[in-house]
Structure 1
């Protein structure tokens, strides 16, 4: 790989992880969830609604639940699950100990309703993820083309 390409990959990776973090848990063996977020993106919206996708990984010894999401970009952000092709709003989604919660196109996802403005490709949308047991995590979600399909992570 040439150096400019390697630099671009490193910068892109850093942008995706900007604002990603975990709970204050001290690590394995302490009986707590230890959360991190990656692979976040939002396809550029074409209406006053948008979807958000990401992966929450729990390296801790206790399960947790994603209970809500907030963002200044939308009047409301809801958590949806998809069962047999039908989406429905849910109160929470489980994040198993030593496991992941994957929010992906065609599956569980975030719904941004009543967008205050339509974010454009290249911009970021800041969200705060709220959990049952862990501290909130702020994530900067990059806006991708409306037709974006991730190559990895989902």
Structure 2
């Protein structure tokens, strides 16, 4: 009986230690409590634009928290405007917001949901980074440094 109690205490201590660890990426929210979103951003990139006035952007927003949040706007110093789009069945539609489900992900990828950087103020080149500010309904804003990749880049991460 005493051995089970010791093993249980060790397991609990290990779980608590792991809770304090976090991976790379930007974070918003505080804690994985039932009432809060815990957001992180990964796999962000912008293919080098082939147009002088427009570019696309892709990323994944993960919510490890117990509450849904909503991406309500995106801005960048490189563009006059950044709009959000969904693509379903080959039809693209501008969206005013996207839900980020509790314990889920919102994925922006080529051929699906994506960001459009319009009215480019400068032409981002491969190897540079573009600063992007993501604004959420409940969590604080998240700033991401989005690397500019080749125009034909396709991530191997599967997003």
Q: TM over 0.5, yes or no?
A: yes
Partner of 1:36: 40
> Is residue 71 from structure 1 mapped to residue 76 from structure 2 by the alignment?
yes
Q: Which runs of 4+ in 1 moved over 6 A?
A: none
Whole-Å Cα distance in 2 between the matches of residues 70 and 29 of structure 1? 29
Q: Do the aligned partners of 2:86 and 2:93 also contact (CA within 8 Å) in 1? A: yes
Q: Do the aligned partners of 1:81 and 1:88 also contact (CA within 8 Å) in 2? A: yes
**CA deviation digits over 1:120-146, x for unaligned, max 9?**
000000010001111000000000000
Partner of 1:137: 142
Q: What is the TM-score when the length of structure 2 is the normalising length?
A: 0.82
3-state SS, counterpart of residue 126 of structure 2:
coil
Whole-Å Cα distance in 1 between the matches of residues 83 and 131 of structure 2? 15
Counterpart of 1:146 (choices 145, 151, 154) is 151
> Is residue 100 from structure 1 mapped to residue 105 from structure 2 by the alignment?
yes
Whole-Å Cα distance in 1 between the matches of residues 92 and 147 of structure 2? 23
**CA deviation digits over 1:7-28, x for unaligned, max 9?**
xxxxxxxxxx5xx421131x22
Superposed displacement of residue 153, structure 1: 4.6
Size of the aligned set, in residue pairs, is 135
Partner of 1:56: 61
Q: Which runs of 5+ in 2 are unaligned?
A: 1-23
Return the index of the structure with the highest Cα Rg: 2
Q: Do the aligned partners of 2:132 and 2:145 also contact (CA within 8 Å) in 1? A: yes
More contact order relative to length (CA 8 Å, sep ≥ 6): 1
| RMSD between superposed Cα atoms in Å | 1.0
Q: What is the TM-score when the length of structure 1 is the normalising length?
A: 0.85
3-state SS, counterpart of residue 66 of structure 1:
strand
Map residues 22-33 of structure 1 onto 2, 5 A cutoff: 22-25=27-30, 27-33=31-37
Whole-Å Cα distance in 1 between the matches of residues 124 and 68 of structure 2? 33
3-state SS, counterpart of residue 73 of structure 2:
strand
